Structure formats: C-alpha cells, structure tokens
Structure 1
Amino acid sequence: MTDKAVLLSNDDGIATITLNRPSALNSINKLLADELIECLNLVKNDNSVKTIILTGSGKAFCAGGDLSYIENLKDIIEARSFIAQVGQFVSIIMEMDKPVIAMVNGVAAGAGFNLALACDIIFCADSARFAQSFAKVGLIPDCGGMYLLPRIVGLHKAKELMFTADLIDAKTAHSLKLVNRVCANESLEEETKAFAKKIADSAPIAVGLIKKTLNRYDTMTLNSLLEHEADMQAYCLQTQDHKEGVSAFKEKRMPSFKGI
C-alpha cells in the first residue's frame, strides 16, 4: 500500500492523476496539496503527455479541505498560505496548454467541487454528488469557486448553491451544465479514457491554443478576440501539424500529430 497522497501514471499520452487519501475521502491536507502541485507541474512539462485525467481513489473524488488538518493550522499566516496553495491547483490547470478531464467517481464537495470545475471537461458517475459545502462550516468558497461557478450556472444559481450548500446529484449537475457527461458507475473509467484518447489524438498545438483562448474569452472584446485569432491562426498555418492534417484529409486517413 503506497503512502503517496497523489498517484501519477502515464499510458499512451494520457496521464492519470489520482487523489489517494480514500479513508479521508481524498480531502486536502498539506501533503496532498504539495503532491498534487508537483504532479500537475510534472505533466504540464512532460511532452509525452497529451491529455490528463484527474480522479480520486475509493468512494470520493474529493471532499474538499481536510477539516482536521485545517482546525490545527496555528495562525492566520499559516491558514492563508494553505488556502493560497490550494488556489494554485486552479491556476496550474487552467493555464497549462493540455486539456484536463475531471473523472468524478464520487462526492465532490467544497474545494473538491471547485477543483473539478477548474478542469476542461467533467465526466461523472451517476452516483456522484456535488456541494458547495463551505457555508455549513462558516467558510467562503475557495479554490477558485467564486470565479468558476457563476460563469457556468449564472450569478443567481451560483449564489443559491453557495448560500445553501445544498447537495445536488449527477442528473442535476448535468442539467445545470456543470458536467459534460454522466456515466454508469461501472463504465465511468472506460468512457473517460476513450474520450481522453480522442483528445490526445487531436493536434496539441491547436487544442492548447483553443483552451487558452476560451479560458479568457469573457475578458476580451470581439475586436480583440478577432485580432487574437488572426495571430494564432497565422501561427497554426505554419505548423507541421496543420500540414499533416491537410495531407491526412486528402488521403482519407487518420492524422498523426506531433505537436510541431
């Protein structure tokens, strides 16, 4: 049995990062935070990795902050340092070029909910449950939740979910467009990996530029977006991946992209 709080594997260009504190519902303490940041930076800088799956071991995706750890933080300086570190999860995931898929295998509460929202795609099991549980323990949403959630569900629904801390099921999460797909528990991993492979087979330069642009679309005017896409498209047109894509289209075969 490993004592690692976060596990990392790489199979055919798909890296899987697994939160590994199942007895604590993969809640976040300093060890898990340190190891998750390390793993995210490793896959970000690994050219063999095209797509990342983020999931949890056992019955939960992530139950949020480990309250036993949090209540023993000695002062406001240590508390702020820990919350700021948790916020790094969001910035690393959202700023890296590579797509990150949250595979939500169970409860995603508090910071765990927001960690999933930071990902580019969310697949969840039909038994998954989601909650912005902060208000029930006298806290505000962290891990980027107040930035991420209203952009998905709208301001008033975000307030409702955060004020009440209500638990919602997978069907409701899908209806609110919080998740892309709800899978049967037994097929979640298979369906997520098949989708990850589809992305991994796409042109990585183009996918990375799409991700970075969409993640800041609401900060750009139409004219600035048009200027940006002209710059990025001109760059893409010079890549070997574009040339390979055109050749594959003409030859009626699957393209083999190299990220160059």
Structure 2
Amino acid sequence: MEDAVLFSVKDQIATITMNRPQSLNSMNEALIDGLHAALTKVETCPGIKCAVLTGNGKAFCAGGDLPFLETLADTAAKKAFIAKVGQVAKRITAIEKPVVAMVNGVTAGAGVNLMLACDLIYAVDTAKFAQSFAKVGLIPDCGGLYFLPKAVGVHKAKELMFTADLIDVAAAEKLALVNHVCPADELEATVMQMAERLAVSAPLAIGLIKKYLNNTAMTLDEVLDAEAVVQPLCMATDDSAEGITAFKEKRAPKFTGK
C-alpha cells in the first residue's frame, strides 16, 4: 500500500504530495499524519529552503474523508482529529520557510483552507473550489474561518461559506484566492521556477516577513515597534551585507541565512 503522503527533495526544494488519488486526496488519519511528518522534515532539515504542497491525480484535496469521519467513535475522537487537521494549517503558517501550494485540480472543504494556509498559490486553469461544509451541515475547519476572510473579506467569505457554491479558477483569481493560474502543462515548471527563486532568497528576511504578515492582530503601532527592533538586527546580518554588496556589484547575491 502506497504512503498517503509522498515526500521528495531536489535542489533545496521539498515536494509534499498528498497521495490518495482514488478519494481525491481527502483527509483521513494517514494523510494528516503524513502531512505532519513531511512538515517536520521541512522544519528541521537545513538543506530545505522552500516547500511545494500538491496532490496526486485530478484533485489537490477534496477536504475531509466523510467515510473515515463516520468511523470516529465519539466526540472526543472527532475533536482530536479536527484539532490535528487544524495543526497542519497552523504549522504551514509558522514554518519560517515559504510554502507554495501547487493546486492541480479540484479543491474543496478543508482542502481550500489547507491551500489558503500556504504562502503562495498557483492553480491549474481547470481547478475548481468550494467551501462545501454547509452542504453537509458542518462549519469550515482547517482554519477556514480565519484564512478565507483574510483573503476575500468577510462578506464574500460569508457568501462562499453560506452557499457552498463551486467556483472556477477565473473567479478564484478575481477574488485573490490564488496568485497565478497556469495551463496544466506549464503548472509544475512555473511553480518550480518560483520555488527556485525562493530557495535562494534571503531566508532570515523571508521568515520574518512571513511571521509578521501572518500576525494580522498587530496594530500599526505594534508593527512599527517591531520594525524598529527587527530591522537593525537584519541590518547586522551577513545576508544583508551580502545583498548590499551584490547590489553594488550588479550580481546575484549568495545568501547563507546568517
């Protein structure tokens, strides 16, 4: 039996592939445990500078595996699983390295919210998206009540969640749910081109930018205070010195994360 999540590394880029194509990569215990294991590798391996999250087959992720959810014996078991799913989304936001979603097909329910937890989102031009929870009498999970209003605003988030309507990739791009749309034969190359750029960018700066952009509760004064503390620390790094030198010498910088 194949692993529910595949993991590979090439040129400092980790690829995490949800691998339950027969169920549209829906979330069961094996898939969620596999995602946690993959994220631990991304977090702890210094040779990994960027991660790409995608799905195998015709879907990115269709959300929760309903037959599996029906096997959860009681409220405690259901709570434990939903919490574990939510921690995947939280870990993606907390990892200092950029995570790019490569959306290869249909994305629904918690799959949409898993996608929204990522830093950049590239989607195939045939992708479709649905916050499908209300159709089965559920509320959004995997951080959806947090991520979707951030992406599209509260009123549009309510519409998408109340109706559970399926939208196409053109509508998703218009709503800023995705960064870029690509033909199927160009998706992987386009994503990897961006991942390669991110892998050689200044890791300390990227990690800090991600940290502060994800902290939407900060007031302007708190942001300005943080900038006044953190920016001088960045200015003292080898990466900043290298970036300035490279700029003056009109060459590409070689960042070391120091």
Displacement of 1:221: 1.5
Matches within 5 A, 1:161-176: 161-176=160-175
Tell me the TM-score normalised to structure 1 length.
0.98
Give the Cα separation in 1 of the matches to 2:111 and 2:128: 11
Contact 1:41 1:92 in 2 (8 A): no
Displacement of 1:136: 0.7
Give the Cα separation in 1 of the matches to 2:249 and 2:236: 20
Deviations 1:156-193 (A, max 9, x none): 11011001100001100000000000001110000000
Which residue of 2 is the match for residue 131 of structure 1?
Answer: 130
Which residue of 2 is the match for residue 233 of structure 1?
Answer: 231
Matches within 5 A, 1:11-50: 11-50=10-49
SS at match of 1:8: strand
Which residue of 2 is the match for residue 154 of structure 1?
Answer: 153
Which residue of 2 is the match for residue 259 of structure 1?
Answer: 257
Give the Cα separation in 1 of the matches to 2:255 and 2:40: 23
Which residue of 2 is the match for residue 6 of structure 1?
Answer: 5
- Amino acid paired to 1:42: K
Deviations 1:53-97 (A, max 9, x none): 000000000000001100111111101100000001111000110
Identify unmatched segments of 5+ residues in structure 2.
Answer: none
Matches within 5 A, 1:1-260: 3-216=2-215, 218-260=216-258
Displacement of 1:219: 1.0
Give the Cα separation in 2 of the matches to 1:14 and 1:229: 29
Identify unmatched segments of 5+ residues in structure 1.
Answer: none
Give the Cα separation in 2 of the matches to 1:230 and 1:54: 34
Displacement of 1:41: 1.3
Give the Cα separation in 1 of the matches to 2:221 and 2:138: 40
SS at match of 1:4: coil
Tell me the TM-score normalised to structure 2 length.
0.98
% identical equivalent positions: 57
Aligned positions, number: 258
- Amino acid paired to 1:180: N
Displacement of 1:30: 0.4
Give the Cα separation in 1 of the matches to 2:64 and 2:26: 5
Contact 1:106 1:128 in 2 (8 A): yes
What stretches of structure 1 move > 2 A for 4+ residues in a row?
A: none
Deviations 1:205-247 (A, max 9, x none): 000000001111x311211111101111111111111111111
Give the Cα separation in 2 of the matches to 1:106 and 1:206: 32
- Amino acid paired to 1:249: F
Cα RMSD after superposing both structures: 0.8
SS at match of 1:71: helix
Displacement of 1:199: 1.2
Displacement of 1:138: 1.0
Give the Cα separation in 2 of the matches to 1:41 and 1:138: 33
SS at match of 1:122: strand
Deviations 1:72-125 (A, max 9, x none): 111111011000000011110001101110000001100000000000100000
Give the Cα separation in 1 of the matches to 2:76 and 2:100: 33
